[in-house]
């Protein structure tokens, strides 16, 4: 008798793209409730929970404007609230998303100028300083950078960009995309002199897609008073004024806001420094595995490597998309694809959000098994390298019984002291 093909797969799908990320059960439960009156007292109590946690995550004391929308909407909101038709902007070509932001600016009637990049490094602060200091550099109204370029896994040093702007004596606004770094990597809008920070809900904040954010400085609010681009839905003033009464000027994504409140509580309970160190450990362990496999990361400078994701370059003659398809079919794991000029050339491993050591090892095991089955040439020892990296940076566990050096897992495997 012929057995029917199975219609379900055992176990849980591994979502290892760089966002949306896996949703914690606490966030899912927080959103699993009836919709409430978004003009009533219960909703006002919910909004009051949000602002302290959001300001802590963004590193700001001013307004954080929330829109129902994706990160692309937050890009547009940052532009239409601060710019006027024909304004010049200096933007840094660090990858796919930096280019997309520039394209939105162009469609809005702005004049973005892209500083060329190789998609293997973060923004070049010295090149920014030189361009702003050029005879025609005084006319730029904003400098825009992506903190963590999701397409490449390269980080831009935002404090260095601010220093470059100050060294040039330039008055431009500094706008920063933190969509894949917020809640995963250190970020401090006020300390770093950022005027508009762009964020999204679906990555380090551990929520579904659907919320976008602008954290706004006093300088940006002043610029908004004189900006002449049309704005209606994306108008900061309307949201900020309504928020003072605990409501929004539109029907908000009520249940996502319940999830946001829970996610902010979770980040506070773990402590942001601990969250950042956890992501740093996972980024280092992933890069150790990639190096042991003999593969190359898209980020060419280890000092600029992302702790949210790792983009891995496929060897010549091998398709990254075919590899990803095999991993999905065989091991029920989704990896991120290469975007625009990196299409079919890289795959991306997401290691951000609600993610622990065992989750990372499972993901790396799936990658290694996929490399084997796909016939991609690779070296042995990737998982051991990741494990050793994790153990070297293991967080303290005050309630765990101490281990003697002879029984720590990495030494037990290697026999080394």
Residue positions forming the annotated binding site for substrate: 348
Strand partners, 198: 177, 214
Report residue 234 as tokens. 């994306």
The alpha carbons of the chain give a radius of gyration, in whole angstroms, of 23
Residues annotated in a binding site = 348
Lay out the sheet containing 111-115: strands in order across. 64-68, 211-216, 196-200, 173-177, 140-146, 88-92, 111-115
Between the two ends of the chain, the Cα-to-Cα distance in Å is 58
Nearest-angstrom CA–CA distance, 12 and 135: 58
Q: 215 near 61, Cβ under 8 Å?
A: no
SS3 for 91?
strand
Strand partners, 309: 350
Picking from 296, 337, 336, 289, the residue whose alpha carbon sits closest to that of residue 316 is 296
Q: 50 near 261, Cβ under 8 Å?
A: yes
Under DSSP, the state recorded for 313 is: E
Picking from 200, 209, 194, the residue whose alpha carbon sits closest to that of residue 74 is 200
Residue 101, number of CB atoms within 10 A of its CB:
27
* Cα 381 versus chain centre, distance: 29
Nearest-angstrom CA–CA distance, 55 and 37: 25
Picking from 237, 227, 215, 214, the residue whose alpha carbon sits closest to that of residue 80 is 227
Q: Classify the phi-psi angles of 46: left when phi > 0, otherwise alpha if psi is within -120 to 50, otherwise beta.
A: alpha
Residue 26, number of CB atoms within 10 A of its CB:
16
- C-alpha separations of 321 from 112, 206, 286, 291 in Å: 32, 26, 20, 21
């Amino acid at each position: 008798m012929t057995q029917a093909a199975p219609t379900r797969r055992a176990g849980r799908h591994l979502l290892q793209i760089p966002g949306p990320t896996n949703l914690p059960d606490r966030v899912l439960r927080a959103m699993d409730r009836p919709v409430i009156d978004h003009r009533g007292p219960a909703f006002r109590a919910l909004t009051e929970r949000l602002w302290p946690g959001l300001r802590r995550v963004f590193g700001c004391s001013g307004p954080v404007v929330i829109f129902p929308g994706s990160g692309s909407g937050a890009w547009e909101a940052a532009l239409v609230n601060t710019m006027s038709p024909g304004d010049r902007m200096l933007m840094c070509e660090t990858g796919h998303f930096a280019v997309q932001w520039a394209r939105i600016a162009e469609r809005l009637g702005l004049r973005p100028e892209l500083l060329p990049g190789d998609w293997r490094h973060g923004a070049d602060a010295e090149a920014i300083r030189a361009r702003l200091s050029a005879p025609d550099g005084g006319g730029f109204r904003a400098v825009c950078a992506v903190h963590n370029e999701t397409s490449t896994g390269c980080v831009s040093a935002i404090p260095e960009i601010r220093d470059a702007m100050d060294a040039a004596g330039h008055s431009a606004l500094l706008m920063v995309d933190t969509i894949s770094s917020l809640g995963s990597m250190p970020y401090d809008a006020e300390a770093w002199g950022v005027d508009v920070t762009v964020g999204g809900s679906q990555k380090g904040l551990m929520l579904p897609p659907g919320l976008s954010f602008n954290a706004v400085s006093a300088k940006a609010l002043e610029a908004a008073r004189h900006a002449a681009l049309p704005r209606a839905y994306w108008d900061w003033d309307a949201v900020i004024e309504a928020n003072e009464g605990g409501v929004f000027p539109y029907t908000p994504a009520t249940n996502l806001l319940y999830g946001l409140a829970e996610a902010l509580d979770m980040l506070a309970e773990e402590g942001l420094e601990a969250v950042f160190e956890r992501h740093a450990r996972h980024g280092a362990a992933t890069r150790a595995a990639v190096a042991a496999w003999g593969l190359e990361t898209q980020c060419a400078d280890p000092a600029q490597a992302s702790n949210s994701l790792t983009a891995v370059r496929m060897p010549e003659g091998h398709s990254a998309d075919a590899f990803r398809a095999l991993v999905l079919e065989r091991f029920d794991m989704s990896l991120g694809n290469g975007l625009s000029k990196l299409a079919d050339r890289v795959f991306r491993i997401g290691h951000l959000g609600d993610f622990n050591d065992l989750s990372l090892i499972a993901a790396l095991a799936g990658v290694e098994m996929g490399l084997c089955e796909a016939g991609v040439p690779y070296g042995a020892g990737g998982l051991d390298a990741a494990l050793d990296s994790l153990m070297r940076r293991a967080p303290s566990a005050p309630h765990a019984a101490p281990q003697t050096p002879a029984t720590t897992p990495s030494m037990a495997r290697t026999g080394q002291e």
